[in-house]
């Protein structure tokens, strides 16, 4: 992500609809980082920009606004390219993923913001980042020491990011790429990999993987596209590039290596989510399973609690959801597009579906069978009237929010 945090642009809070303002506040609960360092109205440089709003943040903002007599404005980021081109800075739409990246990224190097491996894991498993003040500026020596900890592909496993912790950097483009890794089935990555395997030898080099990352990141719009255009410039080594292609960048990677990395990353995130609720046990409760499924969706808190209460009342004797069942269900979610097609084979005129129809559709799109208890639990979460059926369209819509961790619908426009 090549954005230098040199200046401000202001947008009118009144221009935001109440729902947008609410989502802004809801999604960003961290304190305004380092906000007290601001000394001027428009030109004072900041080492970073805060993205969270809590009650304390609103108090800070109110006092700042009162002091400088600027009504209804909040500072946001500008892409550096406008500044360098000598153009008047223009406001950009800030997507949920961009806000998420800025909220969790904790380090800077040469004026660019990066995530650490731990930052990335937190961004996909936590609602808000751990408390910290600003971002850490890395020196050349820091970067050298940081990247020295990067293991080779042969040593990669499903604990790679946890082992690296804060010893590594992840760019914004790589962040988008990793999010795609988490949400795609293996078949989709095989197709993408083969597109860049131009000679059919099942080998990809560093140059080709950079193009592959660009394809995934170009799914984003507005500001993200402006960011990814910077890929045309020389790209500094990152943890992923060294992990894939070695310190000198001249190693090559086969599809099996790439596939193993994808599987390991998906397994690592799934395991972290499960461990958060299992607390060392081999199972999580059906209620916690419901909370995991619904916490990244746009459902109101009251709707989420109503679903949890249904599970509590309809499954009074806790049997628990095993890690294997949870992992299998997460893999099924990565095949939601195929599931949508399969459901059309079993339903007519948008009729609701039974547990048996649901199971058959899962088998068609994944080749696997979910446990009977898991399917029953899913139905208790979504079957509001208790007739033993659920609306597959509503289920798919909510689960797509879950799969994309809310970013599918949380796009907040910032405008003058």
> In angstroms, how far is CA 303 from the centroid of its own chain?
23
pLDDT of residue 216: 56
Say how far apart CA 32 and CA 53 lie, in whole Å.
Answer: 7
pLDDT in tens, 346-382: 666 567 888 998 998 899 888 889 999 999 999 999 9
pLDDT in tens, 300-348: 889 999 999 999 999 988 899 999 999 999 999 999 888 888 887 766 6
pLDDT surpassing 60 at residue 14: no
Q: Which residues contact 27 (CB under 8 A, 6 or more apart)?
A: 96, 99, 406, 410
Is 339:362 a contact under the CB 8 Å cutoff? yes
CATH architecture of 283-403: Orthogonal Bundle (1.10)
pLDDT of residue 326: 96
pLDDT in tens, 224-238: 443 444 444 556 789
Show me where the domains of the chain are located.
1-92, 94-280, 283-403
Is 7:89 a contact under the CB 8 Å cutoff? yes
pLDDT surpassing 90 at residue 296: no
Q: With b meaning 16 or more CB within 10 Å and e meaning fewer, what string describes 119-130?
A: bbbbbbeeeebe
C-alpha dihedral (333, 336, 340, 341), degrees to nearest 10:
-120
pTM of the model: 0.71
Say how far apart CA 243 and CA 181 lie, in whole Å.
Answer: 16
Q: What percent of the chain is predicted at pLDDT more than 90?
A: 34
pLDDT in tens, 77-126: 444 445 555 565 555 677 888 889 999 999 999 989 999 999 999 999 88
Say how far apart CA 175 and CA 238 lie, in whole Å.
Answer: 12
170: DSSP letter:
B
pLDDT of residue 282: 94
Q: Which long-range contacts (CB under 8 A, 24 or more apart) does 345-350 make?
A: 347/392, 350/391, 350/393
pLDDT surpassing 70 at residue 74: no
144: region left, alpha or beta (phi > 0 left; psi from -120 to 50 alpha):
alpha
Say how far apart CA 361 and CA 335 lie, in whole Å.
Answer: 11
């Amino acid at each position: 992500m090549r954005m230098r945090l040199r200046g401000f642009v202001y947008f009118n809070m009144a221009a935001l609809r109440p729902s947008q303002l609410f989502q802004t506040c809801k999604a960003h609960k961290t304190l305004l980082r380092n906000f007290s360092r601001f000394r001027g109205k428009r030109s004072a440089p900041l080492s970073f920009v805060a993205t969270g709003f809590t009650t304390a943040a609103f108090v800070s903002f109110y006092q700042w606004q009162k002091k400088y007599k600027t009504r209804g404005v909040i500072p946001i980021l500008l892409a550096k390219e406008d500044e360098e081109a000598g153009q008047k800075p223009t406001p950009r739409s800030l997507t949920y993923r961009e806000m998420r990246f800025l909220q969790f990224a904790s380090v800077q190097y040469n004026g660019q913001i990066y995530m650490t491996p731990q930052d990335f894991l937190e961004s996909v498993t936590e609602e808000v980042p751990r408390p910290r003040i600003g971002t850490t500026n890395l020196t050349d020596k820091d970067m050298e020491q940081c990247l020295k900890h990067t293991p080779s592909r042969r040593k990669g496993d499903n604990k790679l990011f946890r082992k690296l912790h804060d010893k590594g950097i992840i760019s914004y483009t790589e962040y988008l790429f990793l999010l795609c890794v988490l949400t795609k089935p293996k078949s989709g990555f095989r197709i993408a990999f083969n597109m860049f395997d131009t000679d059919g030898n099942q080998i990809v080099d560093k140059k080709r993987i950079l193009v592959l990352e660009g394809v995934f990141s170009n799914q984003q719009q507005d500001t993200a596209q402006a960011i990814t255009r910077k890929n045309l410039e020389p790209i500094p080594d990152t943890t992923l590039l060294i992990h894939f292609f070695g310190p000198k960048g001249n190693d090559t990677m086969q599809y099996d290596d790439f596939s193993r990395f994808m599987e390991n990353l998906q397994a690592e995130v799934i395991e972290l989510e499960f461990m958060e609720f299992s607390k060392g046990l081999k199972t999580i409760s059906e209620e916690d399973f419901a909370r995991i499924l619904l916490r990244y969706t746009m459902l109101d808190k009251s709707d989420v609690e109503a679903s949890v209460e249904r599970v509590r009342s309809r499954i009074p004797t806790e049997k628990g959801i095993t890690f294997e069942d949870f992992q299998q269900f997460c893999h099924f979610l990565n095949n939601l597009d195929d599931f949508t097609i399969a459901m059309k084979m079993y339903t007519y005129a948008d009729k609701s579906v039974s547990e048996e129809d649901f199971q058959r559709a899962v088998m068609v799109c994944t080749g696997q069978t979910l446990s009977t208890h898991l399917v029953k639990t899913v139905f208790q979460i979504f079957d509001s009237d208790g007739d033993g059926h659920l609306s597959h369209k509503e289920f798919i819509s909510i689960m797509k929010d879950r799969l994309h961790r809310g970013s599918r619908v949380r796009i907040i426009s910032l405008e003058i």
